[in-house]
Amino acid sequence: MPATSANLGPGFDAFGLALGLYDELTVTPAPSISVEVTGAGAGEVALDESHLVVRALRAGLEALGVSVPGFVLRCENRVPHGRGLGSSSAAIVGGIAAAYGLAAMELDREHVVALANELEGHPDNVAAAALGGFTTAWVDGGVGRAVRNDPVAGLRATVYVPEVKVLTKQARGLLPDVVPHADAAANAGRAALLVTAITSRPGLLLTATEDRLHQEYREPVMPETLALVHKLRGSGLAAVVSGAGPTVLVLDALSGKEIAALPAAPDGWTRLDLAIDPAGVQVWSGSVSTETTSARSDDETL
């Protein structure tokens, strides 16, 4: 399952982008449930039925009408937790995809988005994790839906990840119930422009990623994040808060040499230069992942 970045500036709760950084699950049928976690979240997340992947997997099996007594779940996590890179959405989408694997059924990505939205509460990140590429998500009659677009060739993402975490609930709690009409209108225009910028005209990214709806309201819980966004944008880079933060995302269509010349991460931060994931979650008979190199078709895991 890929990491994801939501909002992308003006596309609050609507836009998502799948990134080339992956969690991998391996699920093996067993008489009871056991969970093993390595990488991000190891030693922190629950290792029982309350684990988010387990809950999503159970929900997926129930939706598919399949009963499985238990399984061994192995999670190799590379997506940082609590940083605005969609770790919970990756877990939910991965769990549902694993249910399809256990049921030996072809993955229905529209159903994955709908069910994942029920578990997550909003469809922006789960849509990108399920479909890959650049997605626009919405809720229609209570059902999460999404469409996918191919980003322009060469589009890449650079993320600046701080050591500190920010809870999504905390960041969303700072948003006002009412915003000025002018700000809402400005964001609508920038969001429409961002679709063009990401899919065909990357030269418009700086203008298209301007936001007046949510980022500045989050500043009290992530002042260093907003300071970095302002600094990068002041130098001409299309920088935004990734999801609910505190990670900063820069979108560009630069050459490898130009990417290498981007600013280094501040002290206490990590910079990752990532491709855009084109496919979303993948299921093999050997594993659930988005990395074809991890598929293991010669064992019994799903």
Q: Binding site annotation covers 84?
A: yes
Q: Binding site annotation covers 50?
A: no
Q: Binding site annotation covers 89?
A: yes
Phi-psi region of 236 (alpha: psi -120 to 50; beta: other; left: phi over 0): left
Phi-psi region of 12 (alpha: psi -120 to 50; beta: other; left: phi over 0): beta
- At 16-33, the pLDDT tens digits run 999 999 999 999 999 999
**Please, where are the H alpha helices in the chain?**
52-64, 87-102, 109-120, 124-131, 168-172, 181-199, 205-208, 223-234, 256-260
Q: Binding site annotation covers 32?
A: no
Q: Binding site annotation covers 104?
A: no
Q: Binding site annotation covers 90?
A: yes
- Structure pTM? 0.91
Residue 244 has pLDDT above 60, yes or no: yes
- Which distant-in-sequence residues (6+ apart) come within 8 Å of 149 by Cβ? 133, 134, 135, 136, 195, 198, 199
Q: Binding site annotation covers 8?
A: no
Q: Binding site annotation covers 86?
A: yes
Q: Give the Cβ contact number of residue 8 at 10 Å.
A: 29
Residue 168 has pLDDT above 90, yes or no: no
CA distance 16 to 128: 5
**Contact criterion met (CB below 8 Å) for 259 and 273:** yes
**Contact criterion met (CB below 8 Å) for 181 and 155:** no
- At 54-108, the pLDDT tens digits run 999 999 999 999 999 999 999 999 999 999 999 999 999 999 999 999 999 999 9
Sketch out the chain's domains with CATH numbers.
2-149+280-294 (3.30.230.10), 156-275 (3.30.70.890)
Q: Binding site annotation covers 82?
A: yes
For 238, the 3-state DSSP assignment is strand
Q: Binding site annotation covers 297?
A: no
Q: Binding site annotation covers 81?
A: yes
Residue 299 has pLDDT above 90, yes or no: no
**Contact criterion met (CB below 8 Å) for 150 and 18:** no
Give me the residues paired with residue 275 across strands. Answer: 156
